[in-house]
Structure 1
């Protein structure tokens, strides 16, 4: 899957289709974002400048902001950014596919959180996105990524599929970008930028 196809599909699907808990209820949807924000707060340092890349309608970014982080929402989808503005008009946002994230921000972030984005892209698109996210994070900062590995890696064929990576390939691609995995019991891959 190339980035353009994934972005177009998510933009057309809109915010009502971005998380399975939405099928349960709006309350469950927002509660899941609150829970994720609290999990992220265990990894992030208080007051950090955090970019939520693939912010959607703010399910995670809004509660992260309430926890005291300086959050910017970033998404390639104008539909998602419109929904974010409706849910939290004061939350700064940038429209980007990730490749120009640093230029859009105008500064380095302490952390970039990228959940439920990379999993839907083909490998070539993932590496392009990673390059952009890495440029936007300061030295010593964190990239928190939903970047799954598998003993039997597969590449997404349609926008809703999940791409998985061979662990050794993931490690090699991370190392090329100056990323070192932070060990711990995290529900996502956490990398420190050197």
Structure 2
């Protein structure tokens, strides 16, 4: 499935209701899950650092992370999702991007950290490789990338927009080496990388 197809699916008016498994069950649980993930990120991010939430959606993680004192920029390809974020936190910096033009938008500015949760899992291998390259390009040397980039013993590429694409550890490590990233051991549900 192409990146354009996935972006179009997430930008449907009803996508906000299906963005997370807890959303349709309990709105409070949805926001609590974001606060929990923000707290986990806070265990590995430098205090108050400049951090980008790539695929921020309506701010489920970005808003509570900003409340913890981080300088968060929310990035999403969907104007619908960014509008939802602005309803809850109109002062948060946002950027509409599919990830292909991040360096152009930021210019010479670099982020201390980037995280991308529940985004890469929906894309095909080629798109993920390009996205991770673009995310790495906007992180300063020594910076952190927290990526929901799952591995599996039997990796598989998703074919529908809600399928999960999984990777082999070997291919993940090859791509990380190409992009000058090293894996950091952390007790997180996502992989953590340091920009070299």
**TM-score, with normalisation over the residues of structure 2?**
0.97
Matches within 5 A, 1:35-74: 35-74=36-75
Note the alpha carbon deviations across 1:59-90, whole angstroms, 9 max, x for none. Answer: 00000000000000000111111111111100
Number of positions where the alignment pairs a residue of Structure 1 with one of Structure 2: 194
- Structure 1: where are the runs of 5+ without partners? none
Q: For 2:80 and 2:72, how far apart are their aligned partners in 1? A: 19
Q: For 1:187 and 1:193, how far apart are their aligned partners in 2? A: 19
Match of 2:157 in 1: 155
Which of 124, 127, 130 is 1:125 aligned to?
A: 127
**1:2 Cα deviation after fit:** 1.6
Q: For 1:73 and 1:105, how far apart are their aligned partners in 2? A: 13
Q: For 1:79 and 1:173, how far apart are their aligned partners in 2? A: 32
Q: For 1:44 and 1:14, how far apart are their aligned partners in 2? A: 30
Q: Is the 8 A contact 1:33 1:60 kept in 2?
A: yes
Q: Is the 8 A contact 1:50 1:71 kept in 2?
A: yes
Note the alpha carbon deviations across 1:17-52, whole angstroms, 9 max, x for none. Answer: 110011221100000000000000001010100000
Note the alpha carbon deviations across 1:2-29, whole angstroms, 9 max, x for none. Answer: 2111111111142111100112211000
1:4 aligns with 2:4: yes
Q: For 1:118 and 1:87, how far apart are their aligned partners in 2? A: 25
- Root-mean-square deviation (CA, aligned residues, Å) is 0.9
Matches within 5 A, 1:133-144: 133-144=135-146
Q: For 1:104 and 1:81, how far apart are their aligned partners in 2? A: 16
Q: For 1:87 and 1:5, how far apart are their aligned partners in 2? A: 27
Match of 2:88 in 1: 87
Query: Deviation above 2 Å: which 4+ runs of structure 1?
Result: none
Q: For 1:186 and 1:34, how far apart are their aligned partners in 2? A: 15
Q: For 2:117 and 2:187, how far apart are their aligned partners in 1? A: 16
- Paired residue secondary structure (1:23): coil
Q: Is the 8 A contact 1:58 1:73 kept in 2?
A: yes
